[in-house]
Structure 1
């Protein structure tokens, strides 16, 4: 698969997971940000998320746990939305964050719960 095909596969995955947010990120990418958006689309989503070794729901659970452990709350909110789009339930997200809190620290778990609750409230509205 060449780079263009990998980009297109990644773009499809991003659209399925994040919908309009993907279009917004790409549309708002100026000369400074464009290469980063291309890299995220090609490598994160086309190369890694596009692999067959794990389902998207499992990749989502791994991603939200890693982002929570790193304290990346803004990125975490996007990936909680993506996890829901990938079929991860709110109960599964809760379990992921409880597990993360034990291994990455209670403050990381608390922040993750607050971020997820914000996303759940947004989606309920």
Structure 2
């Protein structure tokens, strides 16, 4: 049972639905199941605010949000989250070719090391998915 006084069940439920659709049911359920007392608040906060509010806003579609996430995660050099969101981008209909273009765009604006890491992470995801 959530202990956070800011927990909102409606936002959590909306966020959980979108989170599973984008990142995959197995990944999300595993993340929630592994959450101990230390991580529980993070899981709740992420599900409510990131997925329940931001990903449900009408201003951008999921493909656009995925493109933005890929670019920001490359720029921030967050390979673990990038791997997760490359999978989410594929789930949102972004193609391998489009992901390559995001990585190339990052080459110019974020630098060679960031782009190279992004290409390597994308290759791993493609290999895991047989793409």
TM-score for both structures, normalised by structure 2 = 0.91
In the alignment, what sits opposite 1:11?
16
Note the aligned Cα RMSD (angstroms).
Answer: 1.3
Shift, 1:106, TM fit: 1.2
Shift, 1:5, TM fit: 1.6
Equivalent residues, number: 124
Rounded to whole Å, the distance in 2 between the matches of 1:34 and 1:109 is: 33
Structure 2 unmatched ranges of 5 or more: 1-6
Rounded to whole Å, the distance in 1 between the matches of 2:83 and 2:9 is: 28
Rounded to whole Å, the distance in 1 between the matches of 2:47 and 2:105 is: 29
TM-score for both structures, normalised by structure 1 = 0.95
Shift, 1:18, TM fit: 1.7
Does residue 107 of structure 2 align to residue 113 of structure 1? no
Rounded to whole Å, the distance in 1 between the matches of 2:36 and 2:17 is: 21
Choose which of 29, 33, 37 in structure 2 pairs with 1:27: 33
Any idea what SS the aligned residue of 1:87 has?
Answer: coil
Rounded to whole Å, the distance in 1 between the matches of 2:116 and 2:122 is: 10
Structure 1 unmatched ranges of 5 or more: none
Choose which of 91, 94, 105 in structure 1 pairs with 2:100: 94
In the alignment, what sits opposite 2:64?
58
Question: Which entry has the higher C-alpha Rg, 1 or 2?
Answer: 2
